[in-house]
Amino acid sequence: MDGTPRLPGGLLGCLVLAICAPAPAGATQNQIPMSENPFFTESTLPFHYPRFDLIRDADYMPAFERGMAEQKNEVEAIASNPEVPTFENTIVAMERSGRILARVSSVFFNLKDADTNDELKKIESDVAPLLSAHNDSINLSAPLFRRIEALYTRRSDLGLDPESLRLLERFRTNFVRAGALLSQADKERLKAMNAELAKLLATCGQNVLNEKNASSVVVHDRAELAGLTDSEIASLQDNARADGKPGDYVIRIQNTTGQPLLESLQNRALRERIMDVSLARGSRGGPYDNQEMVEGIARIRAEQAALLGFPNHATYRVADQTARTVEAVDGILAKLVPAAVAKAHREGADMQAIIDGEQGGFRLAPWDWTFYSERVRRARYAFDEAQLRPYFELNHVLFDGLFFAANRLYGITFKERNDLPVYQPDVRVFDVYDTDGKPLAILIMDFYARPSKLGGAWMNEYVSQSGLLGDRPVVANHLNIPKPPAGEPTLMTFDEVTTLFHEFGHGLHGIFSHVKYPAFAGTSVPRDFVEYPSQINEMWAAFPEVVRNYAKHYKTGEPMPQALLDKMLATQKFNMGFETLEYLKATLLDQAWHTLRSDQIPTDIAAFEASVFRRYGADYDAVPPRYRSTYFQHAFAGGYSAGYYSYIWSDVLVADSIEWFKAHGGLNRASGDRFRSTVLSNGGSVEEVSLFRDFTGSSPDIGPLIRLRGLDE
């Protein structure tokens, strides 16, 4: 779930994010009538869909202030209640608290990623330490924790149902992990660290976006763009005009190290220039340099972990995930890194053979990989990626692929609507109907890249499902597909198609949520489990029955020829050494930074990164990490610190589950309904490994993953 994690409802969600907590309110918020701020009352639109048509930037800070003051009063009333603590007057009351804060937080933190501006950036910087301070005022409240501890001590006598018991246990765990057992002096130290960290995280995230936008590569001569299509070149001209550079061509840098156009550009010097700019982000001085941010974030996290009794931040984080221990994470990495490196070397040798055969006179470099891998693909399978794009038009993929598969699996249907307000003209909205034809959720789709948008792809919720509050989900998926020139179709790469299916897997996790408490809604699960449903949904993008239904030529409507489809499916393991290794190298960086003590934080980031790769035998320079530390949004500005391993950890579960689906007939309602009932509907209300076992009937095994990725070949 790339990007900033969504903000679930209820106080427990605030504890998980460690930013969602009210601070002392200023006088301003008390002077604003309730009717004048759209966050002060619930939206009257279906499912409390946000009033994007009424929300102004000026509304956010007053709403944060009033929301924080309201929740502060509610929580103080709970903590000082003279009655004996009960589950209802303590835990449920806390779950009901902070509704204004939940509304403004869900919209603000979604839009500051999806459609930011200078004012939102300033608000984020201003509000982050305030939210951190109030979060501490709740998490570190001794009277409140005494009530929770009293309930926890006699939990076996309370007669709670399983979901309620799990909620009580989660509250107690989260309060302890937030520092509730510390001395008062140590609590004050922790508060100071949290405030400093909140500022650094906000600045780091803004620097990543600003540097991405500032790092565009300008080309003056069209001849340098040989290999690109006319449509791609027209898009670069549009970028240049938007940047005030008419007559030039502007290549925008995307979030990851690798850049899409490197696959097609024939000019090696330009490819190198693009890769150099991408790799240098956040580490070349200037206003968006993130080196001090990364070092400061790593240092504070290490200090916090030590204060809470953990040897390092990774141990602290993983203890609350399904992996449980750093040793378990290292164990899976130790099995995968050597296999990925070996396969990547074999792939690189195939490309070097082409270079040498053409008397190229150079060694394969990172900026050459995707260009020459396409040459290998064409030679081996007699086709290239460019042949696929005419068959991957966005609307065909959306309606005849994504929605088709969801209907076949789960029986749900979709209808686009144009009567609800949106925050940006390209955004589209869909009603989701359950098997009985009744409204189930609202789905927001934001497909296109733009300078105001965070790179990558992610899922958020504006409203989370909750039986307690009577809320039903409003779910949003975000991608970064380059927008074509006006009047032209949106033709996708297969990677973009797969990403669409991936993010919709997160969306289904929110849409099918059927829990009582907002703390457990949808994707409110450990980071190393949250990617499991999304990566399961990826499988349908390449499933023959689904591909045949959506892969239609955008001009003729003719289906993709069977021979081309067969070639595409035959390449599913192609280049998997590279794809696995670039991901693992980023994972190794995340783990390495977060297993350091505070006195071990390096000041030479490039040297540190190189030493990490050498230590793990991953120092194959032709394959760069998917993210370098200075633009590693997941680890240093998102919710995946010491958790980027989650994708491969979930992939172990996914590979097992793919074998289960195939053994049970693939795309059918019986299998879909089983996955919905055992995994998707339960959110975080049941222990995660139990959900997996309930679905597959077995424990996870790494063997299917190694076979699926072709790492055993």
Residues 88 and 14 occupy one common structural domain: yes
Residue 267 structure tokens = 């000019």
Shared domain for 141 and 19, answered yes or no, is yes
Residue at 464 is within a domain: no
Mean pLDDT of 396-413: 98
The last residue of one of the domains, among 245, 280, 315, is 280
Is residue 360, in this structure, part of any structural domain at all? no
Query: Which of 153-162, 229-238, 563-572, 672-681 has the weakest average pLDDT?
Result: 563-572
248 with 135, same domain: the answer is: no
**Residue 126 forms part of a structural domain:** yes
Give the pLDDT band of residue 665 (cuts 50, 70, 90): very high
Q: Mean per-residue pLDDT for 359-379?
A: 96
Is 272 domain-assigned? yes
> d(Cα 709, Cα 135) in Å, to the nearest integer?
42
* pLDDT, position 711: 76
Within 10 angstroms of residue 487's Cβ, the number of other Cβ atoms is 5
Verify that 122 and 252 share a domain, yes or no. no
| Average pLDDT value for residue range 326-338 | 93
Over the stretch 71-112, which tens digit does the pLDDT of each residue have?
Answer: 999 999 999 999 999 999 999 999 999 999 999 999 999 999
pTM: 0.87
Q: Is the pLDDT of residue 401 over 70?
A: yes
Structure tokens at 29: 């918020």
What are the residues whose beta carbons fall under 8 Å from the beta carbon of 709, sequence distance 6 or more? 573, 576, 580
Q: Read out DSSP for 697-708?
A: SS---SHHHHHH
DSSP-assigned beta bridge partners for residue 415: 431
Number of domains observed in the structure of the chain: 2
Same domain, 126 and 231: no
Q: Could you give the C-alpha distances from 173 to 168, 178, 179, 472, 489, in angstroms and in order?
A: 9, 9, 10, 27, 51
pLDDT, position 710: 76
Q: How many helical (H) and strand (E) elements, i.e. helices and strands, does the chain have? A: 28, 7
- Contact (Cβ atoms closer than 8 angstroms) between residue 537 and residue 406: no
Taking the C-alpha atoms of residue 622 and residue 642, their distance in angstroms, rounded to an integer, is: 25
Residue 383 is predicted with a pLDDT of: 80
pLDDT at 9 over 70: no
Q: Identify the residue whose tokens are 């296999």.
A: 339
pLDDT, one tens digit per residue, over 197-241 is: 999 999 999 999 999 889 999 999 999 999 999 989 999 999 999
Token look-up 């979060």 returns: 135
Q: What pLDDT, on the 0 to 100 scale, is given for residue 35?
A: 61
Query: In terms of domains, do 143 and 261 share one?
Result: no
157 and 267 co-located in one domain:
no
Domain end point (choices 258, 280, 302): 280
Identify the CATH number of the domain in which residue 148 sits. Answer: 1.10.1370.40
Q: Is residue 461 part of a domain?
A: no
Pick from 280, 306, 331: which residue ends a domain? 280
- pLDDT value for 701: 76
**Gap between the Cα atoms of 478 and 500, Å rounded:** 9
* CA separation for the pair 265, 248 (Å, rounded): 17
pLDDT of residue 24: 27
One domain for residues 103 and 184: yes
Task: State residue 7's pLDDT score.
Answer: 29
Residue 385 in any domain: the answer is no
Residues 121 and 179 in one domain: yes
> What is the mean predicted confidence (pLDDT) over 168-177?
97
Residue with tokens 């929770």, as numbered in its chain: 148
Residue 341 pLDDT: 97
pLDDT tens digits, 575-621: 999 999 999 999 999 999 999 999 999 999 999 999 999 999 999 99
Q: What is the pLDDT of residue 4?
A: 33
185 and 231 together in one domain: no
133, amino acid identity: A
152 and 110 assigned to the same domain: yes
Residues annotated as catalytic are 503
Mean pLDDT of 159-167: 98
Q: 287-290, long-range: CB within 8 Å, 24+ apart, which pairs?
A: 287/210, 288/207, 288/210, 288/211, 288/214, 289/207, 289/630, 290/204, 290/207, 290/208, 290/211, 290/629, 290/630, 290/631, 290/636
Q: What gap in Å lies between CA 636 and CA 626, rounded to an integer?
A: 14
Q: Give CB contacts under 8 A, 24+ apart, made by 171-174.
A: 171/12, 171/91, 171/94, 172/148, 173/320, 174/12, 174/15, 174/16, 174/139
Exposed e or buried b for every residue in 515-537, given b needs 16+ CB within 10 A?
A: bbbbbbbbbbbbbbbbbbbbbbb
11-51: per-residue pLDDT in tens? 333 333 322 322 222 333 334 454 689 999 999 999 999 99
What range does the domain containing 92 cover? 10-208
Q: What is the pLDDT of residues 451-500, one digit of tens each?
A: 999 888 999 999 999 999 999 999 999 999 999 999 999 999 999 999 99
* Residue 107, in any domain of the structure: yes
β-bridge mates for residue 476, sequence order: 444, 460
Question: Over the chain, what is the mean pLDDT?
Answer: 92
Is 148 a member of any domain? yes
Which residue reads 């609590």 in tokens?
187
Residues 171 and 262 in one domain: no
